[in-house]
Copies of this chain bind each other. A is one copy, B any other.
């Protein structure tokens, strides 16, 4: 398959290049960057020296890029993918978008949280969290990759919500992310000396991943769900750990909980169930497409605490995109993604 990457110079785009190097079925035909047009990708990312010699183009001639490509991966800030999706509507090119433009079934939620009028309201799109929407992904024209925090959060809670094991108004997601999630543009908040040896919360009760988590959980449960989501910044580059809290409904046994997770994920290649009492660590999934999940039942409060760990740039971005690409193409879902964490 011929693929192009629109916005290849952010961390997500660069990670996609890393993964596609190991994908036998993908041929990269175009990579773009508006601010670095004409440069080679290895000038911006010297770790690609000797591996990628590709030159960055502009995406202004998106028609030509679209004609050349079976798939286009888009890794741009909010508001840009919708323009590309619209421009390519009549072409057979399929799109996998890393951003939020196509994530919401109710466009008004997007417009409210992102503050951008939507220009492609009737797009044929699917929410691309493979473990939940695999069948729809197979034939989708536009696949909207789930966000990084949302991937960890939804996967942690999905079995409980789907089987109505928890009180729908009791869900709290407390999550911590490495700093690569904030992108490659330098600013004071991400200046090395400021965040080294430091830890803080940010965007409490206001992060844009909140409605995205809610949408997926509502879709699973059929109920209205409003959650608390609190992101934090870890002094490290990669990795997300989500600690999810919910009140169990009365008389939910540990066997029922266990069965819910096993039923939903027992056959999933990229979900590793550590079971009741387990402890995922971000380092165990770093550089991989795994989502490690464990849960704890606090008998004193009858709450369940679910822990899930992903690499925000892999399962939370580029790896998920390749997983979706594999599904959409009918390839083995593991193609190009069969990697082990570089440990320690």
Contact = CB atoms under 8 A, between A and B. Distances in A.
Interface of A: 11, 14, 18, 21-22, 45-51, 169, 172, 174, 176, 178-180, 184, 186-188, 190-202, 204-205, 226-228, 230, 232, 234-239, 241, 243, 245, 272, 274, 279-287, 290, 292, 296-301, 303, 305, 307, 309, 338-344
Given A47-B341, A193-B184, A228 B198 contact: no
A243 B201 contact: yes
A237 B195 CA distance: 9
Contact of A199 (B45, B190, B236): B236
A56 to B, nearest CB: 16
A194 B204 CA distance: 26
A237 B344 contact: yes
Contact of A198 (B202, B236, B297, B339): B236
A239 B195 CA distance: 13
A91 to B, nearest CB: 31
B285 A343 contact: no
Given A194-B283, A197-B236, A238-B344, 9 more contacts: A18-B343, A22-B338, A47-B340, A49-B274, A174-B174, A190-B191, A205-B297, A205-B299, A245-B245
Contacts of A201: 241, 243, 279, 307
A179 B80 CA distance: 35
18 contacts: A46-B274, A49-B272, A174-B174, A178-B193, A179-B193, A184-B188, A192-B235, A194-B344, A197-B286, A199-B236, A199-B241, A199-B283, A201-B243, A228-B245, A230-B243, A232-B243, A245-B245, A287-B287
A176 B176 contact: yes
A237 B197 contact: yes
Contacts of A196: 179, 192, 196-197, 235-237, 344
A205 B305 contact: yes
Contact of A340 (B48, B300, B340): B48
A205 B169 CA distance: 21
B186 A191 contact: yes
A204 B296 CA distance: 7
Given A196-B179, A281-B198, A282-B199, A187 B188 contact: no
Given A172-B245, A192-B196, A307-B201, A14 B343 contact: yes
A237 B296 CA distance: 27
B232 A300 contact: no
Given A192-B179, A196-B192, A298-B205, A283 B47 contact: yes
A190 B193 CA distance: 8
A172 B62 CA distance: 49
A225 to B, nearest CB: 10
B202 A279 contact: yes
Contacts of A14: 343
In this complex, the member of A174, A179, A339 whose beta carbon has the largest number of chain B beta carbons within 10 angstroms is A174
A193 B180 CA distance: 6
Contacts of A49: 272, 274, 284, 292
A301 B206 CA distance: 12
